[in-house]
Amino acid sequence: MIVDLPDTTTAKISKALVRIREEGGAVALGRVLTLIISSTMGHEEEAITAANDASREHPMRVIVVSTEGPDTPQIQTTPRVDAEIRVGGDAGASEVIVLRVYGAAASDPESLVTGLLLPDAPVVAWWPGLAPEVPADSPLGRIAYRRITDASAQPDPQDALQRLRTSYRPGDTDFAWTRLTLWRTQLAAVLDQPPYEPVTSIHVTGAADSPSTTLLAAWLHMQLKAPVGCELTSGPHANGLYGVNLTRAGGVISLEREIPGIATLIQPGQPVQDLSLRRRSLRDCLADELRRLDPDDLYGEVITRGLPLLEDVVNSETGVPA
């Protein structure tokens, strides 16, 4: 069910939620958190779909603050808030409140959402598109336990990583890190098998616009204390993380993904293996991050301590820091 509330206020939205609850049952009971999505008009549906899917694992209230972007037609000249409440089949296991905010009404998003937050429930803020310079100091970031950004959605993903490094606060995380979970799990499993030889060198390859490649290189360098090379390439078919080579005395361990969703693992003295290693969807990344509401200390170490260690690693194709 979708209820439209044109030219409305937070108080009217709250009353509508109560009315819907009384008419259709306790649709808001059992919600474990409030997820605030900050988006621009015309780009919010993909994030809402991901949140609806993730809500089957994490029942929640979703508040979408959708503001005018550079490509939004200027159809409103006066401050105005149009709301849309989605429940039932249109909201997964959540309830979705979409706030389309025009003009000066967008100047204080914190006051827009404060009256709609679930009482005594943690708040998570997510910027699926452009993120603020310092997420923790932004109006929505100040009220959130966790703050989720996506470096790959920024105009310059590699530069975005550096901004995340300088602006990091406990509670921040980024989907560039979340997308590495399957890679990190597989590499850890390989190194947990004999022979237990130290890694003497690391080589990571990926697309120039893949911040995950850079974060993986930083993580491996921190964990294995070995020299690292990070090669970022560009081109029409360049996409995501390509592969990792770990050199030990007994030979090279190679994990490369040349086919989407399939990685090839080559180890000295063992048969070649094809492994399922798909790119994680938006829903997978969001559900993963919502499983923990405490700060991700490992991400904090990688982004603040690991990235500076790569400053002397040079991209062999472009000649710029990787």
The pLDDT tens digits for 234-273 are 765 567 899 999 999 999 999 999 888 999 999 999 999 9
Q: How confident is the model at residue 322 (pLDDT cuts 50, 70, 90)?
A: very low
Tell me which residue has tokens 């890190």.
Answer: 177
Higher pLDDT, 133 or 73: 133
Task: Provide mean pLDDT across the span 175-185.
Answer: 97
How far apart are alpha carbons 212 and 176 in whole angstroms? 5
Q: How far is residue 238's CA from residue 175's CA, in Å, rounded to a whole number?
A: 19
Mean pLDDT estimate for the chain: 90
| Residue 124 φ/ψ, nearest 5 degrees | -120, 130
The answer to whether 201 and 227 are in contact (CB under 8 A) is: yes
Of the candidates 296, 281, 277, 285, the residue with the CA atom closest to the CA atom of residue 58: 285
Query: Residue 137 in contact with residue 125, Cβ under 8 Å?
Result: no
Q: What is the pLDDT of residues 62-91, one digit of tens each?
A: 999 999 876 666 555 688 999 999 988 766
Burial of 176 (0-12, 13-18, 19+ CB in 10 A): buried
Query: Looking up tokens 């990792």, which residue turns up?
Result: 244
State residue 319's pLDDT score. 36
Phi, psi torsion values for 113, nearest 5 degrees: -100, -20
Average pLDDT (187-212) is 94
What tens digit of pLDDT does each residue of 140-163 get? 999 999 999 999 999 999 999 999
Give the phi and the psi of residue 193 in degrees, each rounded to 5.
-110, 150
**Residues forming a β-bridge with 117:** none
CA 59/CA 27 separation, integer angstroms: 10
Exposure string over 188-209, b if 16+ CB within 10 A, otherwise e = eeebeeeeeeebeebbbbbbbb
3-class DSSP state of 215: helix
Q: Which amino acid is at 275?
A: L
Q: Mean pLDDT throughout 152-177?
A: 96
280 vs 73, more confident: 280
> How wide is the angle at C-alpha 167 spanned by C-alphas 166 and 171, nearest 5°?
125
| Percent of the chain whose pLDDT exceeds 90 | 74
Alpha helices by DSSP H, 73-224: 109-114, 157-167, 175-178, 181-191, 211-224
Report residue 75 as tokens: 């159809």
Tens-digit pLDDT profile for residues 18-41:
898 887 654 545 788 999 999 999
Say what the pLDDT of residue 142 is. Answer: 97
Please give the pLDDT value at position 320.
Answer: 35
pLDDT exceeds 60 at position 15: yes
